[in-house]
Amino acid sequence: MVRELPEPIMGEYQAKCRMLYGSVCAGTDTHLVNYHPPFSSWMKLPYILGHESIGRVVEVGAKVRHLKPGDMVTRVGTPGVDGVESGWGGFAEVGIATDWRAMQEDGVEGWQGSTVNQILPPDIEPAVGTLFITWRETLSYLTRMGVGPNASVLVIGSGGNGLAFVSHARNLGATKVTMVGAANREADAKLAGATAYFDYRAENCWDQAKAVVADGFDFVIDAVGKAEMTAKGQDCLKSGGTIGIYGLDECGKISLAPGRSFTFYGGGYDEAETHEAVLKFYRAGKLNPVVWHDSKQTFSLADITEAFEAIKNRTLVKPLVKLNGVIA
């Protein structure tokens, strides 16, 4: 539901932004809409959705030094207002960015959670900028996990995050990158860089996946977060390999089976640490927005429910929402 709310009020270390574009996340946004764990344990309805949004600075607070009008900033959202909480708040017409660098320099507490507000260079299209959130999260996760040259990687799940894991694994030097996902996403996965792809509904899917690497994969990432998928993935892992559960579908309900030695990666990610690396990969042509966006199918904020329907029906990887009438 779209409703009118008062504009958020910026603080002295903050900047008011005119929101440009946002992408719908099949993971976080869908789980928020359905009030799934872990969000149901600490967030209260109603809330403003959207964490993959881009805003342009129009006004700055008195102590802002590193943001200026005209700057395009990632992960901008509106805070809770008028009794409505913020589910990161990106699907709005007006948002707030924080000059966390100025706060850090001045010794003001609370800046750490705002490092996701990073300036995008002017040559980056605002719509493409929304993908930096997904790209940064997943690159940080893979890098911390230890994926590198000559690695073999199995990615389970063909949503936006899974496809990002595939591209990043190849960009980090992995030579065998296999995806298990939905049949209609094979072309996207191959464009992202997958060297092998298997339909998770096919009867022999997991036997085929296991056959890709004789002694098992070095890394397995469950980008869906379902117990059955994690178990199948663990069975494809080499002795001494590393497995991570990135998806949230069955959050808190998954356990790993004992047996061969393995490492469980549970270290999370930090978007800010990979901002420059993502920018470098994108400019080098190693991250192709076409994998995630259909630029011919953009939704208005008023029609955002149709964007969520596209996620539900799996017709689009990341529906793009135009948050204001004119983008400048």
pLDDT at 237: 97
Same domain? For 151 and 79 the reply is: no
Same domain? For 206 and 186 the reply is: yes
Tokens of 117: 């507000």
Same domain? For 138 and 220 the reply is: yes
Q: Write down the number of H helices and E strands in the chain.
A: 10, 15
User: What is the CATH number for 217?
Assistant: 3.40.50.720
pLDDT at 25: 86
Give the pLDDT means over successive 10-residue stretches in the chain (328 positions): 86 97 87 76 83 96 98 95 86 96 97 97 96 97 98 97 98 98 97 98 96 97 96 96 93 86 94 98 97 91 92 93 73
- What are the percentages of helix, strand and coil residues in the chain, rounded to 5? 30, 25, 45
Same domain? For 96 and 48 the reply is: yes
pLDDT at 326: 52
> The dihedral of CA 90, 96, 102, 106: what is its sign?
negative
Say if 35 falls within a structural domain. Answer: yes
Say if 209 falls within a structural domain. Answer: yes
Separation CA 20–CA 75 (nearest Å): 11
Same domain? For 197 and 249 the reply is: yes
Domain that holds residue 231: 134-265
SS3 7: coil
Say if 78 falls within a structural domain. Answer: yes
Same domain? For 110 and 155 the reply is: no
Render 200-259 in DSSP notation, one character per residue: TTSTTHHHHHHHHSTT-EEEEEESS--HHHHHHHHHTEEEEEEEEE---TTTT---PPPS
Q: Is 79 left (phi over 0), alpha (psi -120 to 50) or beta?
A: beta
Same domain? For 121 and 144 the reply is: no
pLDDT at 57: 98
In this structure, the dihedral spanned by the alpha carbons of residues 72, 73, 75 and 80, taken in order and rounded to 10 degrees, is: -100
pLDDT at 249: 85
| Whole-number Cα distances in Å, 230 to 28, 73, 147, 172, 322 | 19, 36, 18, 23, 36
CA 113 from chain centre, in angstroms, equals 16
Separation CA 232–CA 37 (nearest Å): 23
pLDDT at 4: 86
Say if 98 falls within a structural domain. Answer: yes
Last residue of some domain: 216, 250, 265? 265
Same domain? For 44 and 154 the reply is: no
Separation CA 320–CA 325 (nearest Å): 14
Say if 282 falls within a structural domain. Answer: no
Same domain? For 241 and 156 the reply is: yes
Same domain? For 106 and 178 the reply is: no
Structural domain total, the chain: 2
Burial 22-35 (b: 16+ CB within 10 A, else e): bbbbbbbbbbbbee
Say if 225 falls within a structural domain. Answer: yes
Which residues have a Cβ under 8 Å from the Cβ of 211 and sit 6 or more positions away?
none
pLDDT at 251: 84
Say if 281 falls within a structural domain. Answer: no
pLDDT at 28: 82
Same domain? For 113 and 234 the reply is: no
Q: What are the backbone angles phi and psi of residue 82, rounded to the nearest 5°? A: 55, 40
Q: How many CB atoms lie within 10 A of CB 238?
A: 18
pLDDT at 325: 67
Q: DSSP secondary-structure letter at 188?
A: H
Separation CA 114–CA 61 (nearest Å): 15
Say if 275 falls within a structural domain. Answer: no
Same domain? For 145 and 113 the reply is: no
**Maximum Cα interatomic distance, the chain, rounded to a whole number of Å:** 62
| Whole-number Cα distances in Å, 50 to 72, 173, 287, 310 | 17, 32, 22, 16
